[in-house]
Structure 1
Amino acid sequence: MGETTGSGRVLYVDDDEEYAALTATFLERTSDHLVVSTAASASDALDRLDDTTFDCVVSDYRMPGMDGLALFERVRDRDDDLPFVLVTGVKDESIASEALARGVTDFVRKRPGSEAFELFANRIENAIERYRATRQCRQFRSAVEHAGHVVLITDADGRIEYVNDAFEAVTGYSAAEAVGRRPSMLQSGQHGDAFYRSLWRTISSGEVWEGELVNERKNGEQYVIDQTIAPITDEGETITGFVAINRNVTERKERELNLAFLKQAIDQAGIGIGTYGADGYATYVNERLAELFGTGRDDLRTRHMATLDPDLDPDRFEAYWRSFDDSERRIYDTRIERVDTGEEVPAEVVTARVTIEGEPYQVNTVRDAAARKRQERDLERFRSAVEHAGHSVLITDVEGTIEYVNDAFEAVTGYSAAEAIGRTPAMLRSGEHDAAFYRDLWETILDGDVWQGEVVNERKDGTRYVVDQTIAPIDGDESITGFVAINRDVSAIKEYERELEAQNERLKQYGQTVAHDLRNPLALLDAELTRFEMAVDDAGGTVDAERVERLCADIGTTVDRMETLIDDLLAMAEQGQRVLEFESTSVEAVATEAWAQIDTASAALSVEDTDVDADPDRLRELLSNLFRNSVEHGSEDVHVRVTPLDFSAGFAVADDGPGIPEDERDDVFNHGFTTAEDGTGFGLAIVERIAHAHGWSVSVTEGRDGGARFEFRTDEDG
């Protein structure tokens, strides 16, 4: 931020007087440019504003009687120009949105710490400096607009971009006719090509050209000017255009043109102009000044200056007049009171002391500040949009030094704005990309092109994240002044892609396993069919019914084996989906349903109930596979028990069958692993996938009765 010119008088409003005093002390201690007064209520603040001129009002949002937004509306009723900053300790984005939508200059959340006060003071200074700078820019433009000489501005190729009122008066061409054309439209034929080549060589080399020139008006009449042409350069000394100032020196027309220009410039000016003598009364006012005050020119000349400006004390007018030095200029914002309505409206005033024939006069130019205020509101809305964008935004200068980051940058990277500003984006490098990667990036944006790509960055805490980054140059007048980077965090998308790739790889492995396992039944089926054909041939027309029946049974068993493999593969693939519908589930109820779904012969089930958070359908599939495993590998009267775990959350499924050898327990969950001749090797793999989908751990041990025991721990520490 540039240095604030002069001290800024701030009125801080908060019903917590102790906090207000503390804030005022910290703001003044933090900034050499702020002088802070306090008010304990909105009504107190309005009284202070009646008596004292302030450069900015800072108000708490929640106050009894009249809150901060209501105070803002009251302040705006009397002054559309005064910066107003709303502060609150409430974490409610709707308050900020409403405040900014109403036109509050800035919105700040109360935060403790010296760094927070430094940022707070900085934002107040910015608000004050912004409206001062905007006012000065408008005043400079006004000075050029109504200068006594012709002023025209061209681009670097000599194409006219701006002309002032004097240009129109002298040449006869309107601004609309001149803009977009070249000054050669005024050539009279009095000067040869060599004259203009010399002129262009001078200004193109960065030098100022001065000389007399005979031009021709739109009506064909020629006139003589004393012309000065100077290059306009940017910070890099690159020529971006030219400004030409033409003084008409045609003796025959000089007085006539000067008088006509003066009358046109002042009477038709877009700003109010008035000259005042030492007695405080106007010697001249233009029509625009009378319009601003809501009265006629004659009436305005009868009114004392001090009665028109609320900031002037009529009893101290003489002291005010004597306070000016010769040729002194003062620029300030004030309020002017309309004669017709009594309304006070914001205005920008430039006051200049001039001396004519030994007598001091004051020339005042007055501009309605409402348009500037609208511009500031538009700027603030744009800034708010960037500040609250969903993606991380950072702006750097042309060297890559960070000048601005939004809230999303802080949330994603872990670095505060204070930590990031002044450093370069290299602070986020993860080491994932080599120097050539960044050289290519820099070459692209320095050429004026937009760079897009994925970058792996590192947060303040050391964790990595992936962004889809777009970096665009910020163009000044034919030169790059900085860069804006918009980063979309795609870490979740990249993680999803990795998971999808891993799942596809698993499915590929499952397919290979099934293809392998299906080949054996298919080979058996082929062999059985061959045996069947041979049996028919051997029978010689006599059918051995018993042998045919046996061969058909073998073929049916092989087909059943293949169907089981296919069903298990489909079940395995289905478990790859995430479990989404959790609810508190009775293990006893689900186990009873699962037991009823399988052929248990004379096997027995006993359950000690417990509740778990689970998807009931998936839990039933898990238990069905375990029960089927116990029945298929145990005796006909195998006993299966489901019990809660003793020392952690979860449950266990155990049987009194042959158990699982210790050296095979690490392999039982691998797809395709089986010890049964007709097993598919998918049952326990499905069990593990369902458990992991729930976030549970699963382990295999020896049961109390010597069989297999599967333990499912449902707590995070299990």
Structure 2
Amino acid sequence: MTGSPKARDESGTIQPGEPTVIYPLVSGSGNDRVLKEWIAGHDSYLLANDDRPIVDAEFDVCVVDKDGLQQYKDDLKQVKSAAKPALLPVLLLLSEHQSDIIETDRGEIADNVLVSTVDEIVSLPIRQAELEWRIGALLRLRDQSLDLQTQTRQLRRFQEAVEASGHAIFITDADGTIEYVNTAFEEITGYSRAEVMGETPDILNSGKMSVEYYEELWETISSGSVWEGEIVDRRKDGELYTAYQTIAPITDDGEVSAFVAVQTDITERKELRDRLKRHRDIVQRLEDPIMLQDETGAFELVNEALVDFAGCPEAELLGGDEHQFMDEATADLIERRKSEVFETESPVQYAVSPTFERSNEEAVFSTRRYPYYDDDDDLAGTLAICRDVTDLEERTRQLQVIDNILRHNLRNDLTVIRGLAEQIHRQTTGTTAKTAERIVTHTDDLMQTGEKSRAITDLLSEDSDLKPLDVTATVRSIAKEINGSRSDVQLDIDVPDRAFVSTTLKIREAIEELVRNAINHNDRETPSVEISIGTNDETVGIHVIDDGPGIPEMDRDVLETGRAIDDLYHGSGLGLWLVYWIVSRSNGSIEVTERDPRGTDVTLTLPRCTETEA
């Protein structure tokens, strides 16, 4: 620890009424006694504990004589150096006959001590009033140095803070000429200090702001007021950036002498804000209700569609849940679905037909509810998108009614026709019998087409509720059934032990339809068909490979795209439509590849999952 001034206030000055601590460094016993008696008898002075070395003591002024200066010159240099840039005053007492030491430039004291160590010299004898005045003058210099030290420290801290700031800061004179920029200014704008010194902020002008904008800005800051607002500026490389800018005038005696500007680069924030606004606008304009709910089920975000159905203003909905505007049974069902999302952290799909008690609306919704995560990636709630399928449900019901009527009438009539044809076939021979046989065959085909039509109607009427399914077991079951009923077919399989996919449970019908189609349309005496399964990290591929004549272009188009390329395409291809819709509703795809020299590979690609996923 080195010598230092005793504790003071934050500015370093002595508080009023606080005594000045004097450290005596006088070697002469007579002078030492007189000085200590004078200090002891003076109310404004306090004697420092001179039993402690000067390098460890706290004091305001050191009083030293010639011998003390020579003896303690190194210690005095040390404590004065440690106190810099503040002044630690040292007062030298010299008798009249010793004053010649300050007139020489050859003595050790004059050369090495006086200049760097002593701040004031007084000749003895001296009146007490004059000594007190000399000490007071040194203390005033001391306080001034402490004030300067404080101001310098504050200025240094300000400069460090400005340089460390992540905001671009620049200072101009009253005419707008740049006098200072910080490091962040260089990083944000791409201009170095040297490039902008002496320039004006017009160097950043992007041309995107109106003349009126700058006129209003200049009028505001010139009048002594602070300007705040967004501005689009241009970096050195020509790239535009958006900043939030604050410009404050610096006044001197009421006159504006300079300006300080702070820019925060908000380009990314503004782009994000604009995107969020666009997304919010889209969500609000959608006709289907969308809602975000926290872990308790309370609404955090709702769109206009939900507001309309609920019959409640948005402000009333936020913080509440479905129970405040929906029939109790449906609200309870939705609660269970929310719990399912939290338990599995997976999306769920379900249909509800709520009655909105306040708006008297009724609707049918196909809802997909997703887990929602916060910024820390913690599960924080659910997001639901409710597709209004009321009209679709009504059309589906109508289709089912028509389908039931047609199937009933068609099946009855076809049954009658088939019976008559069989009777004719039994009772006749020749051309008539062959014609009757063809009628029986065509009747069977029409009845089978009717069954496929019913299967398609049922498929399109149901929710595509996906479940995990082991397609290996499915393929083995299909192969076992066909091999047991068809001895004229060579059906082989190449499958792994297990292969789980996320699919509708009707996928068996799709695979079986492809296998039977490959057999029935094969022109060989013994059709050959292979079913194989391949997997990767994300998908499972199911291949149905045959050695037949190939698939017509119209059939291929149905399988791969769900479109018929010719208006003449008719009911004979309903089985392929069924395959397409089953795979499509399982989020899968179909690819048809011709084999060399003949044959076809129809590949169903489905999302892979584990046994517990869906």
Which category of TM-score, normalised to the shorter sequence, fits these structures? Answer: 0.3 to 0.5
**TM-score (normalizing by structure 1):** 0.30
Larger radius of gyration: 2
- TM-score, length basis structure 2: 0.34
